[in-house]
Amino acid sequence: MDVPLICYACGNTTTLSAGTRCDCGEPYWVATEPTGFAWPESGERSLWRYRDLLPDVVPTGLAAGAGGTPLVRAPRLDDGIGARVHVKYEGSNPTGTFKDRGSSVGVAAAVDAGYETVGTVSHGNMARSMAAHAASAGLDCLVLVPADVPAERLALIARYDPTILRVEGDYGRLYDESLHIGREQRVAFVNSDTPLRVAGQKTTALEIAEAFAPQLPDAIVLPVSSGGHGSAVWKAFRELRDAGLVTEIPHLYFVQTAACAPIAEAWERDDRTVTPVDGGETVAYSIANADPPSGDRVLAAARATGGGVLAVDDDAILDARQALSAEAGLFVESASATALAGARRLAENGAFEGFEDVVLITTGTGFTERDVDAPIVDATRVGLGALDDAITERMG
Ligand SMILES: *Cc1c(COP(=O)(O)O)cnc(C)c1O
Ligand SMILES: [Zn+2]
């Protein structure tokens, strides 16, 4: 099956076999026909619940296990936000991030199209996710990482036994080059913002919308790097509007790490296109894309929904990460904590004035994050005989 594509910017149409980027320079997304779509009656919990809005392929193995993540209330965070806070916890996907949604669709489509090898350009979550889904489907997986990736992160990817190449050179060029080589060598590359990945990632927003139906949250706040996920969330609500299930789209806010914030900087300048930056070190390394392929599409989404793009620094990210654990019970990756850090800043600036419900998408689990910082733990040592007194003293 060849997949129909459409350009959000100029309306051009094509099919996947002809390439993933339009002549106008913008990425394509999968063309869908949402008219007549209704919330499903089925008890299906995975993202394939929304198969009517997905490419017509059959998921097996791990592909059938992505999505269906919890949306939890975090009442102790309400005060800092000035609205009811809901957290979409993507850490409960099979490999711990929302990346599984895109891999699920991308790998199922590759199987359907007769590919024997899939590939991705990633140094972390996307690589783990693609390697896992390929392993489950019995496909070979080629992972292209930057040459200087920390050994701990490579070890997590290697567990799923893909072929890993450490590539020297510009990461942005590697992204485009891989798609080109993939077409020539029949490797189905599923990269950060390729159409099938974005198609799968739409389902984060479909799940949020269905949970609130027939109401809507006022705002959705999520971390952004390549812009693939952000553009997918926008697309999901456009489809629901076309289907007549919503009349409005929540304000979409996209958060970057200050150390590498090309989209937020373009937003500040009121530009329509993103200029690449020289990114620096940050605890939120998973969202440090200096040359985001869907940056322009995210700017368009923020503008169209009355939202915005902003950047937060590492101190604010670590504070938010701590609050998500200690006040909401959620153990998230530093990159994901930018959602709360960004929402706090927006609330301070009055952006949420009059809002009732704000959804934070925490994109990944913190349990994979072994290389960030050594915690200082306050735990008194006490002899068994003194335990009674110690508890009285500590707990009051
Ligand atoms: C990939 C990733 C993001 C950013 O998603 P994009 O689609 O690249 O914008 C955010 N958080 C985590 C944990 C990620 O792995
Ligand atoms: Zn175009």
Coil, strand, or helix at residue 89? strand
**364 within ligand 1 shell (Cβ under 6 A):** yes
Over residues 121-169, the pLDDT tens digits come to 998 999 999 999 999 999 999 999 999 888 888 999 999 999 999 999 8
88 phi, psi to nearest 5 deg: -90, 110
* 375: pLDDT strictly greater than 80: no
Give the structural domain span for 265.
64-96+198-362
The pTM of this model reads: 0.96
Reported as a pLDDT band with limits 50, 70 and 90, residue 1 is: low
Q: Helix, strand, or coil here: 222?
A: strand
Is 80 a domain residue?
yes
Domain-embedded: residue 121: no
Per-residue pLDDT at 95: 98
Residue 206 falls inside a structural domain = yes
What pLDDT score was predicted for residue 373? 61
For the CA of 364, the nearest atom of ligand 1:
13
Cα 132 to Cα 312: distance, rounded to the nearest angstrom: 32
Buried/exposed code over 236-257 (b: 16+ C-beta within 10 A; e: otherwise): bbbbbeebebbeebbbbbbbbb
97 Cβ inside 6 Å of ligand 1: yes
Per-residue pLDDT, 18: 86
Reply yes or no on whether the pLDDT at 374 is more than 70: no
- pLDDT tens, 176-209? 899 999 999 999 999 999 999 999 999 999 999 9
> pLDDT at position 372, please?
56
Distance 226 CA to ligand 2 centre (A): 18
Asked if residues 351 and 302 have their Cβ atoms less than 8 Å apart, the reply is no
First to last CA, the chain: 66
The verdict on residue 337 lying in a domain is yes
Out of 138-142, 196-200, 294-298, 379-383, which region has the weakest mean confidence (pLDDT)?
379-383
Nearest to 342, CA basis, from 310, 364, 318: 310
In this structure, is residue 355 part of a structural domain? yes
Listed residue (83, 146, 93, 142) closest to 115, CA to CA:
142
Does residue 324 have a pLDDT over 80? yes
Q: Is the pLDDT of residue 30 over 60?
A: yes
Q: Using CA of residue 312, residue 317, residue 319, residue 325, what is the dihedral sign?
A: positive
SS3 state at 283: coil
How sure is the predictor about 396, in pLDDT bands with cuts at 50, 70 and 90?
A: confident
- The CATH number of the domain where 349 resides is what? 3.40.50.1100
Instruction: Kindly report, residue by residue over 79-108, the tens digit of the pLDDT.
Output: 999 999 999 999 999 999 999 999 999 999
- Residues, the chain, total? 396
Q: What percent of the chain has pLDDT over 90?
A: 89
Least Cα distance to 63 among 107, 26, 31, 104 occurs for: 104
**For range 63-78, the mean pLDDT:** 98
Using the predicted structure, report yes or no on whether residue 378 has a pLDDT greater than 80: no
Question: In Å, how far from its chain's centre is CA 47?
Answer: 14
* The pLDDT of residue 394: 87
DSSP 126-149: HHHHHHHHHHHHT-EEEEEEETT-
Atom in ligand 1 nearest the alpha carbon of residue 333: 13
The reply to whether ligand 1 has any atom less than 6 angstroms from the CB of 335 is yes
User: Does ligand 1 lie within 6 Å of residue 229's CB atom?
Assistant: yes
Q: In angstroms, what CA-CA distances link 132 with 15, 61, 93, 105, 185?
A: 27, 10, 12, 13, 22
Pick the residue whose CA is nearest to atom 11 on ligand 1. Answer: 363
Which ligand 1 atom minimizes the distance to the CA of 225?
9
Residue 391 domain flag: no
Predicted pLDDT of residue 17 = 86
Report the distance separating Cα 43 and Cα 268, nearest Å. 44
Closest by CA to 135, choosing from 188, 67, 201, 63, is: 63
- Is 170 exposed, middle or buried (CB count within 10 Å of its CB: 0-12, 13-18, 19+)? middle
287 lines ligand 1 (CB under 6 A): yes
Question: In the chain, how many domains are there?
Answer: 1
When pLDDT is averaged across residues 257-286 and rounded to a whole number, the result is 96
> Does 40 reside within a domain?
no
- Report whether residue 192 contacts ligand 1, using a CB cutoff of 6 Å: yes
For residue 8, tell me if it sits in a domain.
no
How far is the C-alpha of 333 from the C-alpha of 52, rounded, in Å? 32
Distance CA 133, CA 138 (A): 9
Ligand whose nearest atom lies closest to the CA of 198: 1
For residue 329, how many C-alpha atoms fall within 13 Å in the half-sphere facing its CB? 6
